[in-house]
Amino acid sequence: MRGTTLRPIARGLAVILATVVLLAGSAGLGLRAPRDVAAALCVVLAVSALCLALALPGLRLHRRVQEDAVPVGDGVRVDLALAPRAVIARIPLARGTVRCALPPALGGPGVLPLGADMSHRLIAQGRGEHDLGACRIRAVDPLGMWRLSRTEHPGGSITALPRIEAVPDALPRRAGLAADGRMSAAAPGAGDIGPLARPYVPGDDLRRIHWRASARTDRLMTREDEPAAAATAAIVLDDRSHAGADEAVRERIVSLAASLWTILRAQGWGVRMLDARGEEIVAETPPLAATGEAGAPALAADAEAVRAALLALARLRFRTAEDDGGGDHAGGGGESGRDDRGGGAVGPGPAGALLHAAPSGGITTGGVGLAVVVGSTSLGPRPTGAAEHRVSQGGERGAADDGTLGGAGLPAHLAELSPLTGRAGRRLAVAVAPGARTAPEAGRGGGWDVVELTVGTPLADALEALGATGTATR
């Protein structure tokens, strides 16, 4: 049988050697006693092997995971059992162990005593989808002569979801994240497309043809004005693997993005989430209040939307330089995008991706009332002078810097994501640095509200700092 082996262990090897010596001695000396002892040892070896042979039928493992997705740090029960037809489950023909090849994110390889029921509990220690791996059965006969080994693949996986941080109900409002006080989208600035464009369909008014967008896409595009005000928030998660941003920083970024997604929905925003190239991680999801008023069916739909969003974040992988450097992206073909109003070229980085990402041909985040960028701050000091001027030219509202944070504005690599925020009425950057818990630093620079925190700093402290420094007041 494939994957099954039967081998003598130390005691069995010693008995086999003794049998050979006794038989040789009996033949050479003509004595009967050594031959009788050798015959008895052969019987012992045969009986031991027969026990394992009888234990082999039905020797299969069944595994069932009680919950296939749990937050990082939570436990999940795994039911592992011998097949109902397994003889060894009813008759003690052997004793042994089951070695499970678990991934490090689930605690690494583990050993269980072989039995009818081997249920156990695993702790999800790292975000992502984790295959539970193969199991190797090792059974030894009652006399300890032979060992039976068999590899089973009972299947099963666990998805570790990013953990959502709970914050006091009043904190998001004090930090200015409530949708009821939202502002209209900012006026178009350098780098913005203006009215949205979508593919032309028969019946559209020819006077509304978007000629610049049509020239860029080589197909007729129709102008579609975006609303003056929006109850939509966009979260931009910086999924680039920056030098100096370790695994703890990256995981903290994902956890913060998930937490802010939940908080903003609870505050009345419809929220969507993008990566650093403008690609959608989580589609726009309506506010929690809007779905909660419709009763049980809507609540069930909302729970499914939350699950889908967390699963998407659990599967998120940070991109390397090689990932960003090769191939087409969202139909962009690696070419530079260009401002349709003649505002200047947009490079092949995040801004170029933004122009190509939306299926409708328009700006991915056009018309949002709030944009939140979440990324690392481990690349050094924030830009000053000309660097901050570039941030202001990327579609900023042009609000004056009040001197907080030394007038430094955004960390340089987060400033690169500024075009992805469209013409948001308010912009917030959450920057994560490595290290234990320290007091967060909040302020305003270059038209952005910026809060910096370490891996060990609770989100509640960051929101408290935003509210206390007055950056939430518009």
Q: Which of 247-251, 403-407, 438-442 has the lowest mean pLDDT?
A: 403-407
What distance in Å separates the CA atoms of residue 77 and residue 89, rounded to the nearest whole number? 21
315-328 mean pLDDT: 68
User: Contact 107/84 with Cβ under 8 angstroms?
Assistant: no
Q: How confident is the model at residue 185 (pLDDT cuts 50, 70, 90)?
A: very low
Based on the fold, state whether residues 311 and 409 are members of the same structural domain. yes
Contact 149, 5 (CB under 8 A): yes
Is residue 333, in this structure, part of any structural domain at all? Answer: no
Confidence of residue 9 (pLDDT cuts 50, 70, 90): very high
Domain count, the chain: 2
343, 393 Cβ separation under 8 angstroms: no
- Between CA 81 and CA 85, with CA 84 as vertex, the angle to 5 degrees is 130
By residue range, what is the domain housing residue 145? Answer: 1-161
When mean pLDDT is compared across 81-90, 258-267, 441-450, the lowest value belongs to: 441-450
349 domain-assigned: no
pLDDT tier at 287, thresholds 50, 70, 90: confident
34 assigned to some structural domain: yes
Q: What is the mean pLDDT of residues 102-109?
A: 94
Least confident of 320-334, 424-438, 455-469: 320-334
Overall average pLDDT of the 37-51 stretch: 94
Q: Are residues 301 and 447 in the same domain?
A: yes
The verdict on 177 and 124 lying in the same domain is: no
CB 229 within 8 A of CB 370: no
Q: Give pTM, 2 decimals.
A: 0.72
Residue 299 domain flag:
yes
Same domain flag for 102 and 75: yes
112 versus 196: the higher-pLDDT residue is: 112
Q: Is 442 helix (H, G, I), strand (E, B) or coil?
A: strand
128 with 248, same domain? no
Say if residue 317 is in the same domain as residue 174. yes
Residues 175 and 40 in one domain: no
In contact, 137 and 59? CB cutoff 8 Å: yes
pLDDT higher at 235 or 241: 235
Which range, of 16-30, 72-86, 211-225, 345-359, averages the lowest pLDDT? 345-359
DSSP character string of 211-264? HHHHHHHTS-EEEEPPPSB--EEEEEE--B--TT--HHHHHHHHHHHHHHHHHH
On whether the CB atoms of residues 370 and 425 are closer than 8 A, the answer is: yes
Query: How many CB atoms are closer than 10 A to CB 1?
Result: 7
Verify that 235 and 313 share a domain, yes or no.
Answer: yes
Q: Which of 26, 43, 44 is nearest to 35 (CA)?
A: 26
The alpha helices in 358-402, defined as continuous H runs, are 386-393
- Nearest Cα neighbor of 450 from 384, 368, 377, 353 is 377
- Kindly state whether residue 395 falls inside one of the protein's structural domains: yes
Spatial neighbors of 292 by CB under 8 A, at least 6 apart, are 298, 299, 302
312 inside domain: yes
Q: Calculate mean pLDDT across residues 300-311.
A: 91
The per-residue pLDDT for 376 is: 79
Residue 269 has pLDDT above 80, yes or no: yes
Residues 443 and 393 in one domain: yes
Contacts of residue 149, defined as CB under 8 A and 6 or more positions apart, other chains included, come to: 4, 5, 6, 7, 136, 137, 138
Same domain? 74 vs 4: yes
Query: What CATH number did the domain enclosing 141 receive?
Result: 2.60.40.10
pLDDT of 472 > 70? The answer is no
Is residue 43 assigned to a domain? yes
| pLDDT of 370 | 78
Q: Which of 36-45, 100-109, 424-433 has the lowest mean pLDDT?
A: 424-433
In a domain, 209, yes or no: no
Q: Are residue 55 and residue 154 in the same domain, yes or no?
A: yes
Minimal CA–CA distance to 160: which of 265, 251, 24, 279? 251
Taking each helix axis from N to C end, the angle separating 247-266 and 459-469, rounded to the nearest 10 degrees, works out to: 60
Residues 92 and 147 placed together within one structural domain of the fold: yes
Least confident piece of the model among 119-128, 176-185, 338-347: 338-347
Question: Which of the 8 DSSP states describes residue 184?
Answer: B
* Residue 315 reports pLDDT greater than 80: yes
